[in-house]
Amino acid sequence: MHRIELDLDGSSSNSVDADRDHLEQVLDNLVSNAIKFSPGGGTIQLRLRDRGDSLMVSIQDPGVGIPGDQLEAVFGLFYQAEDPVSRRTGGMGLGLYISKEIISRHGGRIWAESKPGAGSTFSFSLPRNVARRRVSLPARQRRAEPTRARR
């Protein structure tokens, strides 16, 4: 069983100018991964910290962890960890890639800290005032229309 703890900084101005739907997607990806890669259960901690001109969010899990040489690779397109938990739970290897794109397009950054067997912490920071612009993900690859045979 998993327990999720929320630790807010206590500041009354924990807000950023950002696309709500996309940030929900990032949080969903990170919390889902924390649960998926903590098969033994335990406490998952979500922390929100006021950093003055930015806001930092961290999701820490007690899970299987990630080797240091793979910490940057986990944000790559179609990356999948090579551990028994990943093989069992599956996935497309898109969640962290998409999360990185969303955070980057908001002018922020995302990173991971981890040790195998000791869990992981995924964090992202966002500037308080993002210039008003449309935040969109790369266009999906369009499916080719079936080719009709000519007679």
Helix (H) or strand (E) holding 58: strand 54-61
Tokens, residue 105: 């397009």
**Is pLDDT at 134 greater than 80 in this prediction?**
no
Highest mean pLDDT among 8-22, 48-62, 69-83, 126-140: 48-62
Return the pLDDT at 91. 64
Helix (H) or strand (E) holding 99: helix 95-105
Return the pLDDT at 150. 41
Return the pLDDT at 71. 87
CA distance 98 to 75: 8
Helix pair angle (95-105, 20-36), 10° resolution: 150
Q: What is the pTM assigned to this prediction?
A: 0.79
Percent of the chain whose pLDDT exceeds 90: 50
Mean pLDDT, rounded, of the chain: 81
Name the band, by pLDDT with cuts 50, 70 and 90, for residue 146: very low
SS3 71: coil
Return the pLDDT at 2. 94
Highest mean pLDDT among 16-20, 101-105, 138-142: 101-105
Name the band, by pLDDT with cuts 50, 70 and 90, for residue 81: low
